């Protein structure tokens, strides 16, 4: 079994920054892609950013240029640096790790951005 635990969420003012972390543990021989998703109130879950095992990244358009995803393979951890936060970024942020083709999800961490 694989467990993912997110941390780093909280309340920030517009224009501020947060750094989210997600550590994977359990039966993990290797991790393929890792990513961050979010779900805002009344909205469907959407992709924020994905990073491959080789470090290639892609972002949703609304996050491009403001968010940076990174990973530390030795720690089985993925990070999301969020800058220039906007109120519309308010959401529960979930991390994902693909282990041998199977997706694993964390329980999420809440990010609230005030005006």
**Res 114: pLDDT:** 98
**Res 59: pLDDT:** 96
**Res 104: pLDDT:** 96
Of the pLDDT bands very low, low, confident and very high (cuts 50, 70, 90), residue 64 is: confident
Of the pLDDT bands very low, low, confident and very high (cuts 50, 70, 90), residue 48 is: very high
Mean pLDDT for 73-90 is 96
Mean pLDDT for 75-89 is 97
Q: Would strands 57-59 and 18-26 be described as parallel, antiparallel, or unpaired?
A: unpaired
Burial class (CB in 10 A: 0-12, 13-18, 19+), 48: buried
**Res 63: pLDDT:** 86
To 5 degrees, how large is the angle CA 25–CA 72–CA 79? 85
């Amino acid at each position: 079994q694989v467990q993912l635990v997110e941390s780093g969420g909280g309340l920030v003012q517009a224009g501020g920054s947060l750094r989210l972390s997600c550590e994977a543990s359990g039966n993990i021989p290797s991790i393929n892609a890792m990513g961050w998703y979010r779900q805002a109130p009344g909205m469907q879950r959407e992709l924020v950013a994905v990073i491959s095992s080789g470090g290639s990244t892609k972002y949703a358009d609304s996050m491009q240029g403001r968010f940076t995803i990174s990973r530390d393979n030795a720690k089985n951890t993925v990070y999301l640096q969020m800058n220039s936060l906007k109120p519309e970024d308010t959401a529960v942020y979930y991390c994902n790790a693909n282990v041998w083709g199977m997706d694993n999800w964390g329980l999420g961490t809440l990010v609230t951005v005030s005006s």
